[in-house]
Structure 1
């Protein structure tokens, strides 16, 4: 296990996953396969069973550098290069996205470039990320964040949206296996002076079944139940309701994710 910091995307990830991951109000079916050479293919269908997306990903590692190439359904190619230990206790990522010449979407001659970097340890880390559009020569994003992680809890603060938002989150694990947890998040949009507070929880019913729930200050209540029907294969039933407008029907989602 690396003694250095995680990636910038890991800052606040545990809280974000608990509050957003697997919540859906649609019907989704996905199949993932992996080859011996490391090529992964994921196909996803929605509602009527028609193929909605097919993504291909492959990875190659050379010493402290990881090359990750993904091709999506629109023939866009996303290449991510991850460098670890450039300096002691640092990680950095450089990525660029290049649409295919035959893509049905408008082709951009110059790609979008994203760069992220983190500094610190497994306990505390500081990170920053920036996105640059080489066509318009403008920054598409720049964010900074800090996280503190302990065995039973983690906290983070992220300044995002080019300095226009602040998100602070705290997650506490309720058991040693980390299958049950409570989380709180505060999000502030500076330009509009809006605040959103969200609380949520995860509870392991047994070793195959989890339930999650969340509620925010806008009155949105969500819940889901997830069951492992086969090793690494999950079926998820989720729902959402607006408690401030109970006259509207709740929305429900169903997903099946099959993995080898």
Structure 2
């Protein structure tokens, strides 16, 4: 039996990160509508009202995905007048090899970006290479190798203009179907992140993450723990708390096929008597909602 394909560098610790970050719509109110035409064109409209400043933003995205030919083209236009384009070519030259081109354009500021990428994955190895054309150019490469659940990975960025390595990171972990443990040394090996994920049973998942950044003046370890419980096939609740005393609660309900609603609440447990002081990142208490339509 061939070894499984390991996750990419950006997906190391993904199960733990998703449990601790997704389905908590506490930053504001969002409305997302996704529709798909018979010819494979997908339309996505996203609107967000930010609770912090009351601003309303959004974007319109159109994606054409031809899975038979391994080609996908995505175009998006945001209310900030940013144009995004993403072209993907999968399995064209070799099995497991993928090419991508991602560009953005903001006309009034004459700001533009272009990133060219190649990704290659086979049993036991997953590599990615990026070239940021207008920044440096900056070349970034990462790789993850795996065997029997054990994973080792690394990432490095090289500035052609400065002829120097600008970033390097390392990671190791163990991934199994029911649990995963990941250790990462980031920020040129100055910040360390340890995370774990555990599917206790079909109804309960748990996760925790500890972060230590010796480059910051506050060198204390940041700890965050969370859990997810399925109430039934159509609903689940989530809860997490960190050592700053910020408690977040989330509830997601599938109202009907293609319609999903989420509610989020963040409480500063150190300031439960009032909301006159600000918590890290904004108001002491936050509440938000998300509604998704998909067809």
TM-score range, shorter chain: 0.7 to 0.9
Q: From 149, 157, 177, give the equivalent of 1:131.
A: 157
Q: Is the deviation greater in 165-174 or in 56-65?
A: 56-65
SS at match of 1:255: strand
CA deviation string 1:88-124 (max 9, x = no partner): 62110112345xxxxxxxxx36444321101113611
Q: From 73, 81, 90, give the equivalent of 2:118.
A: 81
User: How many residues were matched structurally?
Assistant: 247
Using the size of structure 1 for normalisation, the TM-score is: 0.81
Question: In the alignment, what sits opposite 2:169?
Answer: 143
Q: Does 1:181 align with 2:205?
A: yes
Contact 1:5 1:122 (C-alpha < 8 Å) held by counterparts: no
Alignment CA distance shift 1:154-1:81 (3 Å): same
Alignment CA distance shift 1:27-1:96 (3 Å): farther
Query: Larger C-alpha radius of gyration, 1 or 2?
Result: 2
Q: Is the deviation greater in 6-15 or in 30-39?
A: 30-39
Contact 1:211 1:223 (C-alpha < 8 Å) held by counterparts: yes
Q: From 90, 98, 107, give the equivalent of 1:61.
A: 90
Give distance in 1, aligned partners of 2:176 and 2:200: 13
Note the C-alpha offset of 1:190: 1.7
Q: Is the deviation greater in 58-67 or in 46-55?
A: 46-55
> What stretches of structure 1 of length at least 5 have no aligned partner?
99-107
Question: In the alignment, what sits opposite 1:19?
Answer: 20
Give distance in 2, aligned partners of 1:53 and 1:13: 27
Give distance in 2, aligned partners of 1:187 and 1:57: 33
Using the size of structure 2 for normalisation, the TM-score is: 0.73
SS at match of 1:19: helix
CA deviation string 1:198-256 (max 9, x = no partner): 11000001111111110001111111111223445532111111112222252111122
> What stretches of structure 2 of length at least 5 have no aligned partner?
50-54, 62-75, 77-84, 107-111, 276-283
Note the C-alpha offset of 1:19: 0.6
SS at match of 1:205: strand
Give distance in 1, aligned partners of 2:199 and 2:29: 30
Q: How does 1:225-236 map to 2 (within 5 A)?
A: 225-231=251-257, 233-236=259-262
SS at match of 1:194: coil
Give distance in 1, aligned partners of 2:126 and 2:12: 13
Give distance in 1, aligned partners of 2:138 and 2:34: 28
Q: How does 1:1-260 map to 2 (within 5 A)?
A: 3-24=4-25, 25-33=27-35, 42-47=44-49, 50-52=57-59, 54=61, 55=76, 56-62=85-91, 63-71=95-103, 74=106, 76-85=113-122, 89-98=124-133, 108=134, 110-121=136-147, 123-175=149-201, 177=202, 179-192=203-216, 193-231=219-257, 233-246=259-272, 247-248=274-275, 250-260=285-295
SS at match of 1:183: strand
Alignment CA distance shift 1:78-1:259 (3 Å): farther
